[in-house]
A and B are shown apart, each in its own frame.
Chain A
Amino acid sequence: MDQSTSNREKILDLSNSLRWEIPANFRDKWVEHIYAESARLAGRNTKKAGNSRRVAWEQRLDRLLTSRLTGFPVMILVLAVVLWITIVGANKPSAFLANQLMDIGHPALKSFAASIGMPWWLDGVLIDGMYLTTAWVVSVMLPPMAIFFPLFTLLEDFGYLPRVAFNLDYLFQRAGAHGKQALTMCMGLGCNAAGVIATRIIDSPREKLIAILTNNFALCNGRWPTQILIATVFLGTLAPPAFAGLVASASVLAMALLGVALTLLTSWGLSRTILKGEASTFSLELPPYRPPQILRTLYTSLIDRTIFVLWRAIIFALPAGAVIWLIANLQIANNSLAEHMIDWLDPLGWALGLNGIIVLAYIVAIPANEIVIPTILMLTVMTTGVSGVGEQGAGVMFETQGQPLIQILTAGEWTVLTAVCLMLFSLCHNPCSTTIFTIWKETRSARWTVLAAFLPLVLGILICGAVALIWRVTI
């Protein structure tokens, strides 16, 4: 042993022996000392000039936003207003984009392809498959995201999220989970992968796992547009036009709240079965309200969230579009491959209140939830013959909002039950590939990752199956 190594061991030996000589509570004394010193220095160098109007105002707002009586109603109202603005506001831009990209862009591309003599299959894969799917993704997803994300970020900037966590804390504790899970769930409302990473703020491994396993029940970026679109097209149109927006918002809100309920329920179940234990306490600081920086928020939420998510969706939409076109055009025994698959999946779909097309769309779109709706629409169009596929410039009439879309869907034999079950299934199925990968990175365990993937899926199948059964028996 050289000199320095023995010196280092000597230090450790000395500290180990000295530890028995000093008072046991010296750490507490030391911490107390630091606190007392901080208080002294802060008091000495701070002057309070009168009572601030702002503090009084903040206290009043906190009382409104976090009291037992008004906390929850205000929370639900805020979410409802955000959703309503999104639904009403996204309508026209969506229709405009669909018109530009599909009714004008698609025929133009088709005639260009014809003029340069592109072979029919290449033209099909590129324009009818990849281009159309991407056009769907952009027109269905961009407007709601461009409204929803900035609104959500403004709330975050203002300081509302910790108040939500404060309100939900009691419920999470009752469910045997950590109160901070309310925060990770709120992050999940933006993106589940981000929500899963955010669980690092939870110290206890048991509670962190619960938060990871249940994060998927927070509706994410990719699924808000699905919910909003189906609610607008199917449920909104059930009501008189004046109330369409309200009914649609209310049904999306109901789905989001059901997600919260499922989070609590599965947390409760997990903490009483495979992840047993007591909820640990923690302190949550309610930060001061800060006036949101509107322009900056608009910029960052557009660039960081909207464009980021849209870009990801487009990346996944391009190959999915090609796959959709191929399975819709590969003929086996007088029928396309897609039709065979849909026929085969139809019984399963029927049992879940869905149909074969939707189940197939979920399989095609496994890498990214966000392109499920475009995939469903493409498959419906291609297999029900609402428009001729592969025919040059045949009237591909797409309009994302309003009548033409509902015609496409009713041609695919959609009912209100299909819409409700699709919304439920969209809330409750396996996380997207990015989230699954993130869960693996956070847990480093194949077992927990598999559980995180299948828990919501199994739950979704059970819920949809039960709803479909009850619906058919009673109605």
Chain B
Amino acid sequence: MFKKKSTCGQCPAAHEGMLEKLGLRMDRWDHVIALAGNPNTGKSTIFNALTGLRQHTGNWPGKTIARAEGGFSFQGKRYKVVDLPGTYSLLSASQDEEVARDFILFGQPDLTVIVVDATRLERNLNLVLQVSQITDRAIVCLNLMDEARSHGLRIDDLGLARDLGLPVVPCAARQNEGIPFLIEEIARMASGQTTCQPRRLEYDIPVLQDAVSRLVALLQRTFPKITNAPWIAMRLLEGDRRIMEAVRSGELGSQRFDRNAEILETAKG
């Protein structure tokens, strides 16, 4: 005999009642969520859907220049959401890319939601792969699924999740489609119920591999808390001044959230 068990409790829709959009009321919070993504993928729309704020959205790349912050509360936990400027990559050094990269790296968000344009998956995955070299707590929000459908595109979100080693949540934020699932996934990862093992890229150049592994060993001894040592090693080899500075000052290993604002200020200034 089967035990009769209600599945309603597992459905995110049942939890949506517990969602409270806090807007700008963020005096204290339990978790910090960063929203990253390519320009014009609907980050601000997702930000508005989560926080209830009315951050101006516009259909052109580069609209969010500074970062915006808002909050929501779900199942008794309070979340601060930081909407980062849209970037194609974290490797070059324009002002907006640096803001995004420094926040993910030094701002120590509890997790990063990478908003992805489902209709331009190939180009968007570049950023996903780059972010997943830096952090191991990320969720891919496959946004604009409505447009993908009208373009006749079918995306295997489970296959993608397996390949990336990250949870993938299909959304159409403009229609609020998938947002409850996204919130559910955020809550699960923030509380440590789900963990992920993002796919780390291999470096198939022997000399490089050797150099990276020597640096990684030293990095891990000096900064036991960091989880992205190979990526840091790559940046050091490239001579990234910001990262070198962070190593020199010991900022790399620090875990203080209150530095966020300061870092972003200096990154912007």
Q: Chain A interface (Cβ within 8 Å of chain B)?
A: 4-5, 7-12, 14-15, 18-19, 21-23, 26-27, 29-31, 33-35, 37-39, 41-52, 54-55, 156-159, 161-162, 165, 180, 183, 197-198, 200-201, 203, 284-285, 287-288, 290, 293, 300, 303-304
Residues in B neighbouring A201, C-beta threshold 8 A:
62, 65, 96
CA distance A197 to B85 in the complex (A): 14
A38 touches B59 (CB 8 A): no
Our pick among B65, B95, B211 for the contact of A198 (Cβ within 8 Å) is B65
Quick check: is B191 within 8 A (CB to CB) of the other chain?
no
Asked whether A200 and B65 contact (CB < 8 A) given A37-B201, A50-B152, A304-B56, the answer is yes
Q: Which of B40-97 contact A (CB under 8 A)?
A: 40, 54, 56-62, 65-66, 91, 94-96
A26 touches B205 (CB 8 A): yes
Q: Which of B212-249 contact A (CB under 8 A)?
A: 214-215, 218-219, 221-222, 233-234, 236-239, 244, 247-248
Q: Report the minimum CB–CB distance from A468 to chain B (whole Å).
A: 40
Residues in B neighbouring A31, C-beta threshold 8 A:
91
Asked whether A23 and B201 contact (CB < 8 A) given A42-B122, A201-B62, A304-B54, the answer is no
Residues in A neighbouring B119, C-beta threshold 8 A:
288
- Most chain A Cβ neighbours within 10 Å, of B95, B129, B151, B163: B151
Quick check: is B17 within 8 A (CB to CB) of the other chain?
no
Quick check: is B1 within 8 A (CB to CB) of the other chain?
no
Asked whether A51 and B208 contact (CB < 8 A) given A9-B248, A11-B236, A159-B59, the answer is no
A26 touches B237 (CB 8 A): yes
- Pick the interface stretch among B8-16, B107-115, B154-162, B255-263: B154-162
Asked whether A34 and B126 contact (CB < 8 A) given A52-B150, A197-B65, the answer is yes
Residues in A neighbouring B233, C-beta threshold 8 A:
15
Q: Interface of chain B, helix or strand or loop or mixed?
A: helix
Our pick among B96, B147, B236 for the contact of A200 (Cβ within 8 Å) is B96
CA distance A151 to B129 in the complex (A): 39
> How extensive is the interface on chain B, given as a class?
35 or more
Asked whether A43 and B122 contact (CB < 8 A) given A12-B244, A22-B207, the answer is yes
Our pick among A23, A200, A287 for the contact of B207 (Cβ within 8 Å) is A23
Q: Report the minimum CB–CB distance from B29 to chain A (whole Å).
A: 26
CA distance A201 to B97 in the complex (A): 11
Q: CB-CB contacts of B128-148 with A at 8 A, as 1s and 0s?
A: 111000000000000000010
Residues in B neighbouring A5, C-beta threshold 8 A:
250
Our pick among B57, B61, B91, B208 for the contact of A22 (Cβ within 8 Å) is B208
CA distance A5 to B223 in the complex (A): 11
Our pick among A12, A33, A38, A300 for the contact of B247 (Cβ within 8 Å) is A12
Residues in A neighbouring B219, C-beta threshold 8 A:
11
Q: Report the minimum CB–CB distance from A439 to chain B (whole Å).
A: 15
Residues in A neighbouring B39, C-beta threshold 8 A:
285
Question: Which residue on chain B has the smallest CB distance to residue A158?
Answer: B59
Question: Which residue on chain B has the smallest CB distance to residue A55?
Answer: B151
B94 touches A203 (CB 8 A): yes
A-B contact count (CB 8 A): 165
A156 touches B60 (CB 8 A): yes
Residues in B neighbouring A288, C-beta threshold 8 A:
119, 147
B122 touches A38 (CB 8 A): yes
Residues in B neighbouring A293, C-beta threshold 8 A:
174
B250 touches A4 (CB 8 A): yes
Residues in A neighbouring B91, C-beta threshold 8 A:
27, 31
28 A-B pairs (CB sep. < 8 Å): A5-B250, A7-B218, A8-B247, A15-B237, A18-B237, A23-B205, A23-B208, A26-B208, A27-B238, A29-B205, A33-B204, A35-B126, A41-B163, A44-B159, A45-B159, A46-B156, A47-B156, A49-B154, A156-B60, A159-B60, A161-B60, A201-B96, A285-B61, A287-B59, A288-B147, A300-B54, A304-B54, A304-B56
A38 touches B60 (CB 8 A): no
Residues in A neighbouring B218, C-beta threshold 8 A:
7, 10-11, 14
Our pick among B54, B59, B61, B222 for the contact of A157 (Cβ within 8 Å) is B59
Quick check: is B123 within 8 A (CB to CB) of the other chain?
yes
Q: Report the minimum CB–CB distance from B19 to chain A (whole Å).
A: 20
A162 touches B60 (CB 8 A): yes
Quick check: is B153 within 8 A (CB to CB) of the other chain?
yes
Q: Report the minimum CB–CB distance from B156 to chain A (whole Å).
A: 4
Q: Report the minimum CB–CB distance from A18 to chain B (whole Å).
A: 4
Question: Which residue on chain A has the smallest CB distance to residue B125?
Answer: A38
Residues in B neighbouring A18, C-beta threshold 8 A:
211, 214-215, 237
B156 touches A45 (CB 8 A): yes
A30 touches B129 (CB 8 A): no
Q: Report the minimum CB–CB distance from A24 to chain B (whole Å).
A: 11
Asked whether A285 and B94 contact (CB < 8 A) given A44-B163, A52-B150, the answer is no
A300 touches B215 (CB 8 A): no
CA distance A49 to B207 in the complex (A): 44
Quick check: is B18 within 8 A (CB to CB) of the other chain?
no
A34 touches B61 (CB 8 A): no
B151 touches A52 (CB 8 A): yes
Residues in A neighbouring B222, C-beta threshold 8 A:
4, 7-8, 11
Question: Which residue on chain B has the smallest CB distance to residue A292?
Answer: B59
Quick check: is B186 within 8 A (CB to CB) of the other chain?
no
A19 touches B234 (CB 8 A): no
CA distance A225 to B206 in the complex (A): 67
Residues in A neighbouring B58, C-beta threshold 8 A:
156-157, 161
